[in-house]
Amino acid sequence: MKISVVTAVLNGRETLPAMLGSLTAQTYADIEHVVQDGGSDDGTLELLEAQGHPGMVLQSAPDSGLYHAINQGIRRASGDVIGLLHADDTLADPDVLAWAADALADPAIDGVYGDLQYVARDDPSRIIRDWRAGPYAVAHLKRGWMPPHPTLYLRREVFARSGLYDTNYRIAGDYEAMLRFLTAGQVRLGYIPQVMVRMKMGGVSNRSFAHMIRKSREDYRAIRRHGVGGVGTLVAKNLSKLPQFIGRDQV
Residue ranges per domain, the chain? 3-245
For the whole prediction, is pTM greater than 0.85? yes
CATH 3.90.550.10 fits 3-245, yes or no: yes
Mean pLDDT by 10 residues, the chain (251 residues): 98 96 98 98 96 96 96 98 97 98 97 97 93 95 96 98 97 97 97 97 65 92 96 94 75 60
Digit-coded pLDDT (tens) for 49-88: 999 999 999 999 999 999 999 999 999 999 999 999 999 9
Q: What integer pLDDT is reported at residue 4 of this predicted model?
A: 98
The answer to whether 131 and 121 have CB atoms below 8 angstroms apart is no
